């Protein structure tokens, strides 16, 4: 990808978005602000790509609110805040369930019962 620099007017011409819309997307955090400040600010290919992506989603019927939600949900969360420990229980080869370690003991017992019952049923012994 090139490191070409674009003025906001060029971005508008390339993407079909108005200057006002581009500024709104920047102020709302939908796209990153331009590099530099004021009239010296410039946009790059990342901005163009992002705006084209937004345009495509809108042309496919997505509302801006949904585009923003989708975009924010795809951001990589901080690994420290999302670290979890999971247990894996194999029912039969190719079929397993994953259970968070931090569930309550009473719920854990229910899961053990489900695993045991599932193994029994799937192995053909349905006398449960």
pLDDT tens-digit series, residues 43-63:
999 999 999 999 999 998 989
64-114, pLDDT tens digit by residue?
888 888 887 765 554 444 556 777 878 888 888 887 777 777 777 888 888
All structural domains of the chain with their residue ranges: 5-74, 86-124
**Whole-prediction pTM:** 0.55
Q: Which residues contact 44 (CB under 8 A, 6 or more apart)?
A: 3, 4, 5, 6, 35
* DSSP 8-class letter at 38: G
Q: Characterise 76 by phi-psi region: left (phi > 0), alpha (psi -120 to 50), beta (else).
A: beta
Fold entry, domain 5-74: Multidrug-efflux Transporter Regulator; Chain: A; Domain 2 (1.10.1660)
């Amino acid at each position: 990808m090139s490191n070409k620099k674009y003025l906001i007017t060029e971005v508008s011409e390339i993407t079909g978005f108005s200057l006002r819309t581009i500024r709104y997307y920047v102020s709302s955090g939908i796209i990153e602000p331009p590099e530099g400040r004021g009239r010296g600010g410039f946009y790059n290919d990342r901005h163009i790509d992002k705006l084209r992506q937004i345009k495509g989603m809108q042309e496919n019927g997505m509302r801006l609110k949904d585009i923003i939600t989708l975009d924010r949900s795809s951001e990589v969360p901080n690994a420290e805040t999302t670290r979890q420990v999971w247990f894996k229980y194999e029912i039969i080869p190719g079929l397993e369930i994953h259970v968070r370690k931090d569930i309550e003991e009473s719920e854990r017992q229910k899961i053990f019962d489900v695993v045991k019952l599932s193994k029994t049923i799937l192995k053909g012994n349905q006398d449960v």
